[in-house]
A and B are shown apart, each in its own frame.
Chain A
Amino acid sequence: GESVGLHLPTLSVQEGDNSIINCAYSNSASDYFIWYKQESGKGPQFIIDIRSNMDKRQGQRVTVLLNKTVKHLSLQIAATQPGDSAVYFCAVGAGGYNKLIFGAGTRLAVHP
Chain B
Amino acid sequence: GAVVSQHPSWVICKSGTSVKIECRSLDFQATTMFWYRQFPKQSLMLMATSNEGSKATYEQGVEKDKFLINHASLTLSTLTVTSAHPEDSSFYICSARGWGQGADTQYFGPGTRLTVL
List A residues at the B interface (Cβ < 8 Å): 34, 36, 41-46, 49, 89, 97-105
Contacts and interface: CB of A to CB of B under 8 A. Distances in A.
Contacts of B75: none
Contacts of A44: 44, 93, 95, 108
Contact of B108 (A45, A101, A103): A45
Contact of A49 (B49, B105, B111): B105
Contact of A104 (B43, B109, B110): B43
Interface residues of B, number: 26
Contacts of B93: 43-44
Q: Chain B interface mostly helix, strand, loop or mixed?
A: strand
A34 B95 CA distance: 14
Contacts of A98: 32, 34, 49, 97
- 9 smallest A-B Cβ distances: which pairs? A43-B108, A102-B43, A102-B44, A44-B108, A43-B111, A43-B110, A43-B93, A43-B109, A104-B43
A52 B52 CA distance: 29
A46 B105 contact: yes
Interface of B: 2, 4, 6, 32, 34, 42-46, 49, 93, 95, 97, 100-101, 103-111, 113
29 contacts: A34-B105, A34-B106, A36-B108, A41-B111, A42-B111, A43-B4, A43-B93, A43-B109, A43-B110, A44-B44, A44-B95, A46-B2, A46-B100, A46-B103, A46-B105, A46-B108, A97-B105, A97-B106, A98-B32, A98-B49, A98-B97, A99-B46, A101-B46, A102-B43, A102-B45, A103-B43, A104-B43, A105-B42, A105-B43
Given A46-B105, A49-B103, A99 B97 contact: no
Contacts of B110: 42-43
Nearest to B32: A98
Nearest to B93: A43
